[in-house]
Amino acid sequence: MLLAAFTLTLMIVDRRQDHLTHVRELLSLAVTPIYVIVDLPSMAWQSMTGAVADRQELGHENDQLRRQLLMAQADLQNLNSLAMENDRLRELLDSYEELSEDRVMIAEILSVDLDPYRQRFVINRGSTDDVYVGQPLLDARGVVGQVEVVSPITSEALWITDADHAIPVRIERSGFRAIAEGTGDSGQLRLPYVTNSADVRRGDLLVTSGLGGIFPSGRPVATIDEFVPRPDQNFAHVTATPVSALDRDWEVLLVWNDVRSAAGEVAANLERAVQ
């Protein structure tokens, strides 16, 4: 009762005369550290859980951004690949315009023989596309090779640098005719039967002569990179570098020339006559 009476007295005095304001301020200042200490665990827990949540959110966002970056890089590589393929096809189409008198078809290279002594590759065209043995193959720069084996949907072909391949050529500058043979080296041809006195110079362009009726005439084949006369022998040492990008081609042009078409018609007529 005494404490209650004392409390009521203090409340009345404080209400009417405001003498206890400074006392309350001092008491509040004194208990502030207690409030802080009591609230510290709660604040620490909230801070820790907030930091963990922020870290998890940042990690999730980082993973999303990383995936988006990888997808963007893949798309960019796709675009670069498509741009390069578009350039190659545009070059092939430009070559097609030069061969507008002949029937042509674009074929994709499926695989390349990794044997260093076999310059062979497989294309995605076969007998169902009227591909025939010996058919010439070109790219945007010049002659690539010939079809050797034909299957229904694929064909095996050999580069002009294969050791078993030979092609009749002429020097564009002088008209001198020769045979260019493969060496087994993807970057070199040889001309085995060129006399020491022949009009051949380093840098001369070799083009198809059209002899034999297989390759269309005037298509670039190679450039002479070495002509060494050998007085002790009948023929000079002559090598040439193919103009086509044999180690970088992805597509080639199959060419049906008029000579082949005429031969096909003759063969068909003979077959019908026999029947």
Return the SS3 of 113.
Answer: coil
Evaluate whether 121 touches 112 at the Cβ level (below 8 Å): yes
The predicted-structure confidence for 80-117, as pLDDT tens digits, reads as follows 656 666 666 666 666 555 555 567 888 999 999 877 77
239 lies in which domain range?
103-274
The torsion defined by the Cα of 193, 199, 205 and 210, in degrees rounded to 10, comes to -60
Of the CA atoms within 13 Å of residue 161, those in its CB half-sphere come to 22
Would you state the pLDDT for residue 206?
95
**Nearest 5 degrees, angle CA 168-CA 169-CA 172?**
165
**Overall domain count for the chain:** 1
State the pLDDT confidence band at 162, using cuts at 50, 70 and 90.
very high
Determine the Cα–Cα distance for residues 97 and 32; give it in Å rounded to an integer: 92
Is 1 within the bounds of a domain?
no
Task: Look at residue 194 and tell me whether its pLDDT is greater than 90.
Answer: yes
Determine the Cα–Cα distance for residues 22 and 35; give it in Å rounded to an integer: 20
Overall pTM surpassing 0.85 (yes/no): no
Would you state the pLDDT for residue 93?
63
Q: CATH number, domain at 154?
A: 2.40.10.340
Is 3 within the bounds of a domain?
no
State the pLDDT confidence band at 190, using cuts at 50, 70 and 90.
very high
Is 172 within the bounds of a domain?
yes
- Name the percent of the chain lying above pLDDT 70: 77
Is 268 within the bounds of a domain?
yes
Is 87 within the bounds of a domain?
no
State the pLDDT confidence band at 262, using cuts at 50, 70 and 90.
very low
Determine the Cα–Cα distance for residues 227 and 13; give it in Å rounded to an integer: 125
Evaluate whether 210 touches 177 at the Cβ level (below 8 Å): no
Longest distance between any two alpha carbons in the chain, whole Å: 142
Backbone dihedral angles phi then psi of residue 6, each to the nearest 5 degrees? -65, -40
Is 74 within the bounds of a domain?
no
Is 89 within the bounds of a domain?
no
Averaged pLDDT score across all residues of the chain: 80
Evaluate whether 150 touches 137 at the Cβ level (below 8 Å): no
Task: Look at residue 210 and tell me whether its pLDDT is greater than 50.
Answer: yes
Of the CA atoms within 13 Å of residue 84, those in its CB half-sphere come to 9
Rounded mean pLDDT, 33-59:
78
Determine the Cα–Cα distance for residues 249 and 90; give it in Å rounded to an integer: 13
Distances (CA, A) of 142 to 28, 91, 121, 159, 223: 97, 11, 17, 12, 11
Is 30 within the bounds of a domain?
no
Q: Specify the long-range contacts of residues 14-23, CB closer than 8 Å, at least 24 apart.
A: none
Would you state the pLDDT for residue 168?
94
State the pLDDT confidence band at 43, using cuts at 50, 70 and 90.
confident
